A and B are shown apart, each in its own frame.
Chain A
Amino acid sequence: DGGITQSPKYLFRKEGQNVTLSCEQNLNHDAMYWYRQDPGQGLRLIYYSQIVNDFQKGDIAEGYSVSREKKESFPLTVTSAQKNPTAFYLCATADRRRFGNTIYFGEGSWLTVV
């Protein structure tokens, strides 16, 4: 089954804890992204990676960290430094060999701080 797999779908975190959201893809896409959606808001870019072992901060990277050790995987860690972590998190990928910036999203992960 091809595509982008995010896990877990729902995650609860206590204040002060770090949590890691998983994103795996078997589309052989070079580029991977993490976006965040808050109610009534658009999608805001947290981090992105265009190639293995390289990643860049997006617009709202504070309080987050990522790694890109494998082409297929781009995990996102929400640290205790993130003040408002409750949100819907979306992982996405893109094929850099194709013209244009069509990116494809996973199903998303809900993170709730309790």
Chain B
Amino acid sequence: DQQVKQNSPSLSVQEGRISILNCDYTNSMFDYFLWYKKYPAEGPTFLISISSIKDKNEDGRFTVFLNKSAKHLSLHIVPSQPGDSAVYFCAASVNSGGSNYKLTFGKGTLLTVNP
């Protein structure tokens, strides 16, 4: 049972345009969400996170939106740059009540930004 789903395995955009990466989740107990970026043969690097008490968090070119009623979050990258080309993982966790600090990951979306 996949609790975090990234339904698009890949996405291709032009440099300078917006990239929108989507993620859906099924576990209503999730209250903290993160996005990671990963290059081949390297460990993922943390990009941005959002708590369930918010619906938007922005950090430079990266913005994460959370729609709790739809159990959906998205990562917007504006403007997209060729160096953004990587696999992006969505992750979620339960933080309330002394959580076990486990992250559940989606399968990732390969973003390609074309010059």
Contacts and interface: CB of A to CB of B under 8 A. Distances in A.
Given A42-B106, A50-B101, A101 B45 contact: no
A56 B43 contact: no
B99 interface: yes
A105 B105 contact: no
Nearest to A110: B41
Interface residues of B, number: 28
A100 interface: yes
A90 B100 CA distance: 19
B41 A101 contact: no
Interface in A71-114: 88, 90, 92, 94, 96, 99-108, 110
Contacts of A104: 46
A91 to B, nearest CB: 8
Contacts of B93: 100-101
A102 B46 contact: yes
A106 B44 CA distance: 8
Given A40-B107, A100-B95, A101-B32, A48 B102 contact: yes
Contacts of B106: 42
Given A42-B89, A42-B108, A43-B89, A101 B43 contact: no
9 contacts: A33-B102, A50-B100, A99-B51, A101-B34, A101-B101, A101-B103, A103-B46, A108-B42, A108-B43
